[in-house]
Amino acid sequence: MGLDDILSIMYPDDFGPNIQIKYNKEGELVIYHWDVDKLGQQPTEQSLLDQIPQYQAAFDNKQVSINRRKEMPSEHELIVAMWEDVVEGRPEAKEALQIRRTAIKTKFPKV
């Protein structure tokens, strides 16, 4: 978890218009735009680092959601499976997708 992750969790709606960051040649995060009028005083690097324990679980759960989303069935697959079950009386696809979804949730448990 880095400073960019902490900022994205603490200020999820402010990247782009109110907060702009980049990495310098040494690989260090640099905040090159901070809208003081909307966000108040820019936090120090140390104050952000001090927030890591508080936001670690949120970050981990965000990663879990990203990982799950990559492997979950598409909405189209889910709709077709539900249609086949409800309208056509064929539950096989729905049952297979539920087994797949349960396996993904086991593979990527929430923190």
| Contact indicator for 3, 45 with CB cutoff of 8 Å | yes
Summarize pLDDT for 42-78 with one digit per residue, the tens: 998 899 889 888 888 888 888 899 999 999 999 999 9
> What's the whole-number mean pLDDT along residues 87-107?
96
Per-residue CA distances from 77 to 69, 88, 107 (Å): 14, 15, 20
Per-residue CA distances from 109 to 22, 39, 47, 81, 102 (Å): 32, 34, 30, 24, 10
- pTM of the entire structure? 0.54
- The Cα–Cα gap between 73 and 81 comes to 10
Read off φ and ψ for residue 51, nearest 5 degrees.
-85, -10
Report domain 1-52's class: alpha beta
Q: Where are the domains of the chain?
A: 1-52
Per-residue CA distances from 100 to 40, 59, 72 (Å): 46, 25, 8
State the pLDDT at residue 108: 93
Indicate the SS3 state at residue 63: helix
